[in-house]
């Protein structure tokens, strides 16, 4: 994604000030933020404090290898808030890593986070709806414009000498200009809207910080504002000559300023966990699951992990990045470390902190660290154990599965070691009711004589339930798994079997149901007997000749009960659904995806076909094939021919 904001026509001015336009998505976002009433405006402060804390974390890490960056020889990291009621400003500053000219433009002029820009592009334009959607997703820095009609950011990047000022009224453009005497880090000055002056009141600020940012590991300090200092000066004059009690307003630390994950569980409330999850996961939903524990033994570490209840926006991003933050002894190291969390658990958010990892190795080296591997194995084990417990409550687990099932199933072919465990946690729809079932449920209900787990893949449950391929199975009471995630094609073939029972695609040729007991009474079979068999054989030959290259083969079918025909994949070949998926992605050209046409010799139409000939036979044969394609969700290759044949057959029927 482009990270540059577009230069507006005004360009550079004499003072070195540059005027730029926001990226279109940012402008759209700001328009919604600025012009719509926001029910929960106070969260802007949480967002700014969260950014300030991240920025200090980043500098603390880089300074491990480049101590000069700290300038002050390693002074404490702090976040300061100061309000000026008269000037109607609120200032939030940090002494973190800061931003230089280019970073200010890229970070505060564009949206670089994967998935986010796409999300904003897709917003409906209906303000009420958009606001509620944005509410669950959060707007980070841009939320400042809910309470401010102008925002100035003064920033100097650690290690650099020049400072910059970024300024905007949130209405399409912003400016960047060089600035003298800027302290390291970022100072954000909000010029509060008239209806937002409450955010300059110290009691309000205290309450907001305690509610949302108590868990921030750095001190968040409220400094006395100019009005408090003025008052003190005035009081001093009034009392001249009287006793001199020193009541100089003092800075006040508003939060606990200790890493939440290091505090004992009993001292943390559900709300504090939730707020921490919002901060650490950049998330806005409720955590579906919270796991907080300390591992002792060979490797010691503390983990505070969350499973979200909603899908994060980048869940299906090709990079499949994880988001658990690694800390070494309270020092933030990385939030994108491969090797901390397997990719199929990339939806997990949170923190892992261990003193057993070396502080001074690079992120790259950490990736292959054996201690890190042990930590991974420990947290995955605990997570799966918790999932197993929660899976007992079917509805509760469905929330998890609906959001993360498609990602979780990647583990079935990627995590060979835990495959059995992951299979136990896997859920699927089936022909047995509307709920999700486990493979254990399926296996427990298998019919006498049934030696495989049957499944069918497709785009949606309704179409699968109506597909002719499963008719015979349903008639016999044989359960079929209905798999609709693209990934299902891959894991079933790679896993092969569950509890020694092989997975078998019902849409593959050669389904033999004769060995399975049960189901409805078989209809009287008038296709038995040598004469009838010869007629069927004859029909198959005629169909093969007529349809030629359009099909791989024509066979009789045991699976059909009420449909005359259906298409199936050649046994061992690629499934119809997979072939279609590849085609949709422009792949699979040159693949042999010809299908087998299965016919139902007991069906009236097929019986009539045995005695047909000439054009009537040709038209019907092609129409039957097209019908099977349509039912399968495929396009008819020659619509004109289809229409012509259909008209001709209808005309005869009406005649
Ligand atoms: P997010 O924090 O979710 O990435 P934001 O819109 O809040 O999104 O911020 C965008 C980026 O701007 C951040 O990723 C960070 O790089 C930068 N940024 C924001 N605030 C600060 C700050 N106080 N100090 C340094 N960089 C910051």
Q: In this structure, what token pair is assigned to residue 498?
A: 């569950």
Q: The sheet that has 565-568: what strands, in order across it?
A: 553-556, 596-599, 565-568
pLDDT band at residue 481, thresholds of 50, 70 and 90? very high
The ligand 1 atom at the shortest distance from the C-alpha of residue 47 is: 7
- Kindly tell me if the per-residue pLDDT of 114 is higher than 70: no
| Residue 451 contacts residue 501 (beta carbons within 8 Å) | yes
Binding site membership of 52 for ligand 1 (Cβ less than 6 Å) = yes
Binding site membership of 228 for ligand 1 (Cβ less than 6 Å) = no
**215 C-alpha to ligand 1 centroid (Å):** 19
Domains of the chain listed by start with CATH number: 18-229 (3.30.565.10), 260-402 (3.30.230.80), 534-654 (1.20.120.790)
Binding site membership of 23 for ligand 1 (Cβ less than 6 Å) = no
Binding site membership of 107 for ligand 1 (Cβ less than 6 Å) = yes
Determine the Cα–Cα distance for residues 137 and 134; give it in Å rounded to an integer.
5
Nearest CA to ligand 1 atom 11: 107
Q: What is the pLDDT of residues 195-231, one digit of tens each?
A: 999 999 999 999 999 888 888 889 999 999 888 777 7
Q: In a mutational test of the pocket of ligand 1, which residue from 54, 59, 134, 144 has the highest number of ligand atoms less than 8 Å from its CB?
A: 54
- Kindly tell me if the per-residue pLDDT of 242 is higher than 60: no
Whole-model pTM over 0.85: no
3-state DSSP helix/strand/coil % of the chain, to nearest 5 = 40, 20, 40
pLDDT confidence of residue 343: 93
Mean of the per-residue pLDDT values of the chain: 86
pLDDT confidence of residue 253: 95
Q: What is the pLDDT of residues 262-306, one digit of tens each?
A: 999 999 999 999 999 998 888 888 999 999 999 998 899 999 999
Q: What is the pLDDT of residues 115-129, one digit of tens each?
A: 677 777 777 777 767
Least confident of 196-200, 316-320, 640-644: 316-320
Binding site membership of 140 for ligand 1 (Cβ less than 6 Å) = yes
Determine the Cα–Cα distance for residues 74 and 536; give it in Å rounded to an integer.
88
Binding site membership of 94 for ligand 1 (Cβ less than 6 Å) = yes
Q: In a mutational test of the pocket of ligand 1, which residue from 44, 99, 107 has the highest number of ligand atoms less than 8 Å from its CB?
A: 107
Determine the Cα–Cα distance for residues 483 and 453; give it in Å rounded to an integer.
12
Binding site membership of 281 for ligand 1 (Cβ less than 6 Å) = no
Q: What is the pLDDT of residues 2-48, one digit of tens each?
A: 334 544 444 555 578 999 999 988 888 888 887 765 667 888 998 89
pLDDT confidence of residue 431: 95
Q: In this structure, what token pair is assigned to residue 533?
A: 């068999």
pLDDT confidence of residue 48: 94
In percent, the amount of the chain with pLDDT more than 70 equals: 87
Determine the Cα–Cα distance for residues 282 and 99; give it in Å rounded to an integer.
20
Determine the Cα–Cα distance for residues 191 and 152; give it in Å rounded to an integer.
8
Binding site membership of 99 for ligand 1 (Cβ less than 6 Å) = yes
Interval 513-519 mean pLDDT: 73
> How would you classify the pairing of strands 349-354 and 323-328?
parallel
Q: Which of 173-187, 316-330, 541-555 has the highest mean pLDDT?
A: 173-187
The Cα-based distances of 250 to 133, 203, 278, 394 in angstroms read 41, 15, 30, 54
The Cα-based distances of 264 to 258, 259, 293, 334, 348 in angstroms read 12, 11, 9, 24, 21
Interval 314-328 mean pLDDT: 82
Q: Which of 276-280, 357-361, 417-421, 557-561 has the highest mean pLDDT?
A: 417-421
Closest CA to 345 of 424, 410, 389, 295: 410
Nearest CA to ligand 1 atom 12: 107
- Kindly tell me if the per-residue pLDDT of 439 is higher than 90: yes
Determine the Cα–Cα distance for residues 536 and 598; give it in Å rounded to an integer.
12
């Amino acid at each position: 994604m482009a990270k540059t904001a577009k230069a507006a026509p005004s360009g550079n001015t004499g003072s070195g000030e540059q005027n730029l336009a926001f990226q279109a998505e940012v402008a759209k976002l700001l328009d919604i933020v600025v012009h719509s009433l926001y029910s929960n405006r106070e969260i802007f402060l949480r967002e700014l404090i969260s950014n300030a804390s991240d920025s200090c974390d980043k500098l603390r890490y880089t300074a491990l290898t480049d101590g000069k960056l700290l300038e002050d020889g390693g002074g404490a990291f702090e976040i300061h808030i100061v309000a000026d009621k008269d000037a109607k400003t609120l200032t939030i500053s940090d002494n973190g890593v800061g931003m230089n000219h280019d970073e200010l433009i890229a970070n505060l002029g564009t949206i670089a986070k994967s998935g986010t820009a796409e999300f904003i592009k897709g917003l409906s334009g209906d303000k009420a709806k958009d606001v509620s959607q944005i509410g669950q997703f959060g707007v980070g820095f841009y939320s400042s414009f809910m309470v401010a009609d102008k925002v100035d950011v003064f920033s100097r990047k650690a290690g650099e000498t020049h400072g910059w000022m970024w300024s905007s009224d949130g209405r399409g453009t912003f400016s960047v200009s060089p600035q003298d005497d800027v302290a390291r880090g970022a100072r954000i000055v909000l010029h509060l809207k008239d209806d937002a002056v409450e955010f300059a009141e110290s009691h309000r600020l205290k309450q907001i910080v305690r509610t949302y940012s108590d868990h921030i590991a750095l001190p968040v300090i409220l400094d006395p504002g100019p009005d408090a200092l003025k008052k003190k000066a005035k009081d001093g004059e009034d009392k001249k000559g009287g006793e001199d009690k020193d009541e100089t307003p003092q800075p006040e630390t508003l939060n606990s300023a200790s890493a939440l994950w290091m505090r004992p569980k009993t001292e943390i409330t559900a709300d504090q966990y939730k707020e921490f999850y919002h901060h650490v996961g950049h998330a806005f939903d409720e955590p579906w699951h919270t796991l907080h524990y300390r591992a002792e033994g060979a490797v010691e570490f503390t983990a505070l992990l969350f499973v979200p209840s909603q899908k994060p926006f980048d869940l299906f991003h090709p990079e499949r990045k994880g988001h658990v933050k690694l800390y070494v002894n309270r020092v933030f190291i990385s939030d994108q470390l491969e090797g901390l969390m397997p990719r199929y658990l990339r939806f997990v958010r949170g923190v892992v902190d261990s003193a057993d990892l070396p502080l001074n190795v690079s992120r790259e080296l950490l990736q292959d660290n054996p201690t890190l591997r042990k930590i991974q194995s420990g947290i995955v084990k605990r997570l799966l154990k918790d999932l197993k417990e929660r899976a007992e409550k079917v509805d509760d687990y469905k929330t998890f599965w609906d959001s993360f099932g498609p990602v979780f199933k990647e583990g079935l072919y990627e995590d060979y070691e835990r495959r059995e465990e992951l299979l136990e946690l896997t859920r699927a729809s089936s022909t047995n009711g509307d709920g999700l079932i486990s493979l254990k449920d399926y296996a427990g209900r298998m019919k006498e004589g049934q030696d495989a787990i049957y499944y069918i893949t497709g785009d949606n449950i309704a179409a699968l339930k109506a597909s002719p391929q499963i008719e015979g199975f349903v008639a016999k009471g044989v359960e079929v798994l209905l798999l609709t995630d693209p990934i299902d094609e891959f894991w079933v073939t790679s896993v092969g079997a569950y509890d020694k029972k092989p997975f078998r695609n019902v849409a593959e040729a050669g389904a033999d149901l004769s060995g399975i007991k049960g189901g409805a009474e078989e209809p009287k079979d008038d296709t038995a007997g040598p004469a009838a068999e010869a007629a069927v054989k004859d029909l198959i030959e005629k169909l093969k000749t007529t349809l030629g290259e359009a099909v791989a083969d024509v066979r009789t079918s045991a699976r059909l009960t009420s449909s005359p025909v259906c298409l199936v994949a050649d046994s061992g070949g690629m499934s119809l659904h997979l072939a279609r998926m590849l085609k949709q992605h422009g792949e699979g050209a040159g693949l042999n995806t010809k299908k087998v046409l299965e016919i139902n010799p007991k069906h009236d139409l097929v019986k009539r076909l045995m005695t047909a000939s000439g054009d009537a036979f040709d038209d019907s044969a092609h129409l039957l094939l097209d019908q099977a394609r349509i039912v399968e969700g495929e396009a008819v290759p020659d619509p004109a021919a289809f229409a012509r044949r259909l008209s001709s057959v209808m005309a005869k029927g009406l005649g």
